Amino acid sequence: MATVELTRDNFKQTIDNNGMVLVDFWAEWCGPCRMFAPIYDDISERYPDAVFGKVNTEREQELARMFGIRSIPTLMIFRDQIIIFSQPGALPASALEDLVNKAQALDMNVVREQVAKQQARQGA
């Protein structure tokens, strides 16, 4: 699957309607973003069951603010509407592929339990 452009109009729907969504926060003027783009696009073709989205932080400043993006590129991974990874910096292809494989292998029941415990601690 090719990468898809994410905007404030389709972001929530994309996250809500797909099991795994990778999001690359980038900008046209960003050198590391331009270097990472072909790697991201290539890996997206290998994982048709995941959505690989791109958020142009210049055009989608509201989304960038909502997620506290301070450095680009920043990569986020959502599984079942839960952010399971967020890190700035470009990755080599092997590291990105390894990350996608690890994200797919996560036991989301365990993740949901951990999220619930954390939320309970914060609410107490």
By annotation, the residues acting in catalysis are 30, 33
User: In this structure, what token pair is assigned to residue 93?
Assistant: 């292809």
Contact present, 16 and 81 (Cβ < 8 Å) = yes
Give the Cα separation of 4 and 7 in Å (integer). Answer: 10
User: Is residue 87 within 8 Å of residue 38, measured between CB atoms?
Assistant: no
